Structure 1
Amino acid sequence: MALSDAKLPISMVVDVDQRQMSEEPKEEEEELDYSQRAQWLRAAVLGANDGLVSTASLMMGVGAVRQDSKAMIISGFAGLVAGACSMAIGEFVSVYSQLDIEMAQIKREKERAGAIESNINEESEKESLPNPIQAATASALAFSIGAMMPLLAASFIKDYKVRLGMVVGVSSLALLAFGAVGAVLGKGPMGKSCGRVLFGGWLAMAITFGLTKLIGSSGL
């Protein structure tokens, strides 16, 4: 009885250690998976913010010299299409360059390692490589979502001043939302993040409006 009683705690300790060892990789996988998702979400938020600010600023600039809604809407739509294409092409080229570098690194490691082991590692590493088409599509989609907000805000309003106010108002609310999401993903202060994003958007719209108004009034 004494010997069996002495063995019982040892087996319990071994079982506990085994459970802890099996749980640790799962926690690391969840943390890694969350980190990757957070990076994608943060990139999507930044892309949408870029689309919002650039399109709203473009529409405000056109609105500084033209009061008809058609000019603002056409310029906003052109900015949406041009910006989405530019983001997609830039992201595709950038990620494809990164893919070429990583594939070259895998090839060098394969030459140094054994053939069987390197084939197994190569297959697992290829699964984690970035996808240029996926990155380009996500970037263009995020930019388009952000650009649609000021465009829709001005689409059904005929009055000039109300239309400009709606573009600024809708853009401001969206900027606050983007700042809040960025703060959550980056685990930073909510107020400062929202304030920075909102001030940056206001500054871009104000500069574009002011400079276009100045050039338009000078007759250039």
Structure 2
Amino acid sequence: MSSNDSLTSLNQAKFAPPNNDLEQQQEATTTLEIETEDNFDYSKRSQWLRAAVLGANDGLVSTASLMMGVGAVKQDIKAMILSGFAGLVAGACSMAIGEFVSVYSQLDIEIAQMKREKQRGDGRGIREEEGTNDEEKETLPNPLQAAAASALAFSVGAMVPLLAASFIRDYKVRLGVVVAAVTFALVVFGWLGAVLGKAPVLRSALRVLVGGWMAMAITFGLTKLIGSSGL
């Protein structure tokens, strides 16, 4: 090997960029991100999932079932829309009040538990206890927020069948459009809940869809039966 070749090889080795260290850092960062995602506790999302996705699903199914029940004996569009609107308002108020009472009870229990732990004492410093108490207060449930979220979610779900039936005069077409719109919304809500909670998507969507269909079919059938009997 000539002296020039030896000098060129030496210079390349001397000024070569540290690719190995950079690649190792990138691999470590990617591995850490994957581990963080895998270790995420998706059960922490259960509270707001219940208040949002499930609340919207309740509004969708209950309002659609009520409208289908009225539609079984009344072909007038006004009666169907009014029944759906009444179901929206009543359901949203019921969800808000129920969620407020439930979360407030949970809040009382957690505050009582915090007081018992404070009375016991565990030898920690005053500053440490104050910091811990501040963190615990931030994680306490908020009854007003829960009530508002439940009422809003219920209203969003209930608006689907109402909007679907509002502009269709023909009775049979109106019923078909309501069923189609509710079916689509049920699949979306089931899929959304499964994705956010990292649950099986197909199974969740089918469970929500079949449950909604059953609720509408039972309400329609029983109302039709009672209405045709002349009671």
For this structure pair, what is the TM-score category when the shorter chain's length is used for normalisation?
Answer: 0.7 to 0.9
Distance change >3 Å, CA 189–CA 35, structure 1 → 2: closer
> Do 1:110 and 1:119's aligned partners in 2 also have CA atoms closer than 8 Å?
no
How far residue 124 of structure 1 moved from its aligned partner, in angstroms, is 1.6
Identical residues among aligned pairs (%): 75
Q: Counterpart of 1:168 in 2: which secondary structure?
A: helix
Counterpart residue number, 1:49? 57
In the other structure, the counterpart of 1:73 is: 81
CA contact (8 A) 1:38 1:185 kept: no
Q: Which amino acid aligns with 2:174?
A: R
Q: What TM-score, normalized to structure 1?
A: 0.82
Residues 181-207 of structure 1, C-alpha deviations (whole Å, 9 max, x = no match)? 122123233222221111111110000
* TM-score computed with the length of structure 2 as normaliser: 0.79
Structure 1 segments unaligned to the other structure (5+ residues): 1-15
Determine which structure has more spread, i.e. the larger CA radius of gyration.
Answer: 2
- The alignment partner of 1:100 has SS state of helix
Residue type at the aligned position of 1:154:
A
Q: Give the count of matched residue pairs.
A: 198
Q: Match for 2:214: what amino acid? A: L
Query: Which residue of 101, 104, 112 maps to 2:109?
Result: 101
Contact 1:63–1:72 (CA under 8 A) maintained in structure 2: yes
Contact 1:42 1:185 in 2 (8 A): no
- 1:88 is aligned to 96
Unmatched tracts of structure 2, length 5 or more: 1-24
Give the secondary structure class of the aligned counterpart of 1:173: helix
Give the Å deviation of 1:172. 0.2
Q: Is the 8 A contact 1:109 1:118 kept in 2?
A: no
- Which amino acid counterpart does residue 158 of structure 2 have in structure 1? A
Query: Per-residue deviation at 1:93?
Result: 0.3
The one-letter code matched in structure 2 to 1:95 is V
How many angstroms apart in 2 are the aligned matches of 1:36 and 1:155? 39
SS at match of 1:72: helix
Distance in structure 1 (CA, Å) of the matches to 2:223 and 2:46: 38
1:150 alignment partner in structure 2: 161
On the 8 A contact 1:178/1:194 being kept in 2, the answer is yes
Q: Secondary structure at the match of 1:67?
A: coil
- 1:52 and 1:150 in contact (8 A); partners too: yes
2:206 equivalent to 1:190: no
RMSD: 2.4
Tell me the alpha carbon deviations over residues 13-57 of structure 1, each in whole angstroms, 9 at most, x when there is no partner.
xxx9xx99xx89xx49x936x654464235411110110000000
Deviates further, 184-193 or 72-81: 184-193
- The CA distance in 2 between the partners of 1:125 and 1:39, in whole Å, is 17
SS at match of 2:104: helix
Provide the rounded CA distance (Å) in 2 between the counterparts of 1:195 and 1:152: 24
Q: 2:48 aligns with which of 33, 36, 40?
A: 40
